[in-house]
Structure 1
Amino acid sequence: MNRRPTLLAAITLTAAAALTLSACGGSDGSKDKNAGADTESEKSASPSPSAPESAAAGRPKIQLPSDLKYSFEWSKTGDKHKDAVLADSEQSIKAVDMAIANQDPLDEAYLYYYEGEAAAQTELYIKEYVKAKARTTGTYRYYNATVDVGDVGSASLVYCEDQGKAYDMYLKPKRINKTAVTKNSYVLYAVQLSKNDQGVWAVEKLDSQRGSAKCQP
């Protein structure tokens, strides 16, 4: 997962994903803005490109600290299956941060969106935050999404993350570890998902590449 720009950036969730990192930046409704763009006005729970069917699927409610904000700069593709992958991926990203904020490596929300290898790796990732008595804060920006859906309930998603305004916050004593923006503030992700029995696009495998040229402003 390798999402954080500081000490905990060493917590890397890698997988032998059958995905290519060169796929980032396709035409599936992706947009690219400069890293310096102001995202502070973004709401902490920005609308999904295709709102998850919360009631029907019994989805857990994502409740995050007010200082955590997200900017998802990927638009609807016009394909209901691809849009569902993007919507569920937004929830899966937030669910991990909620588990970190709750200091709970077995938080039910992220386990709803992660399965198998990815779930096991994410648990270890969250445990490191718990051990460090830290959580995430600031603004995360996501862009350049490319999604592909197979005909047997499988999908792949490649996207970029801008961590330039995101930080680790230590809880005892409370301290935000602000770091300078470098090329390593931009991370490329390759995700393998499958549609489970609840109709949720769950993350099965996840790989990341910090400092990828594909994500630089």
Structure 2
Amino acid sequence: MTRRRPSLLAALTLTAAAALTLSACGGDDSSSDEKDKIAGADTGSEPSTSPSESAPAEADRPKIELPTDVTYKFEWDKTGDPVKDAVLHDAEQRIRAVDMAIAEQDPLHEAYRFYSEGEAAAGSQKYIQDFIDHKARTTGMTRYYGESVNVKGDGTASLVYCEDQSKAFNKFLKTGKTDVTSVTKDSYVLYAGTLRKNGKGVWVTERLVSERGSSKCQP
């Protein structure tokens, strides 16, 4: 359940591990084969400054360092609500942490495990291992948009968002070759995650499912 690029892995004739980012997944998300139905997505938000600019400072957070060719465009609005902005920030960090684990070829990297637990962490580990098995990593730019956050009274939060993978690809480590794939409706993925605030004050992703090719995320 890592969050993402199951379609990219499919180009390697893989079984999509945990689409996601499980964190992106990254884990990040569930396999695109599951076609989980996700309700409540609102993709009408206008892009603005990423909430990552106001990072929560409670915990001693891992440093996220990525190759220069791995970039993101987070079009997630600052909500003005410090709790919702913290949820968005930590979800963004999980996405970055999964890509760092892939780049460093470490399926048990401490960074993504800092931001995920349970099903999400297990899905990310499998997703990262798929890249390691094929001696590949991610490259290019991934865009995130259409987010919707709902904080609940039980200390959990739900997060729905879209991912645009049209400019993100696989890069093979031995040859340096980038596997450029064509853009289709499946380049756009809808994610729905459940997060919980842990004792360190971090919003960890516990579960993340995806729907590849969702009409809610099409350009």
The equivalent of 2:38 in structure 1 is: 21
Shift of 1:113: 0.2
Letter in 1 for 2:56: E
Partner of 2:17: 11
Q: Percent identity?
A: 52
For 1:8-87, list aligned pairs within 5 A. Answer: 8=10, 10-12=16-18, 13-14=29-30, 21-25=38-42, 30-31=45-46, 47-49=50-52, 51-54=54-57, 56-87=58-89
Report SS of the residue matched to 1:57.
coil
Alignment check: 8 A CA contact 1:188 1:208 kept: yes
- Superposed CA offset, 1:86-134 (max 9, x none): 0111101000000000000011000000101111111111111111100
| Equivalent in the alignment of 2:191 | 189
Tell me by how many angstroms 1:26 deviates.
6.1
* Structure 1 counterpart of 2:172: 170
- Aligned Cα root-mean-square deviation (Å): 2.1
Q: Is the 8 A contact 1:50 1:84 kept in 2?
A: no
Q: Alpha-carbon deviation of 1:62?
A: 0.3
Query: CA, structure 1 residues 200+47, in 2 after alignment: closer, same or farther (shift >3 Å)?
Result: same
Equivalent-residue separation in structure 2 for 1:20 and 1:165 (angstroms):
25
C-alpha deviation, 1:213, in angstroms:
0.3
- Provide Cα deviations, 1:163-183, integer angstroms capped at 9, x if missing partner: 010001111122100011100
The answer to whether the Cα contact below 8 Å between 1:144 and 1:159 also exists between their aligned partners in 2 is yes
1:31 is matched by which residue type in structure 2?
E
With the length of structure 2 as denominator, give the TM-score of the two structures.
0.85
Instruction: Tell me if the contact between 1:26 and 1:145 (Cα under 8 Å) persists in the aligned partners.
Output: yes
Moved >6 Å (runs of 4+): none
Q: How many residues are paired up?
A: 199
Gaps of 5+ in 1: 34-45
CA deviation after TM superposition for structure 1 residue 2, in Å: 5.4
- AA aligned to 1:139 is M
| Partner secondary structure for residue 6 of structure 1 | helix
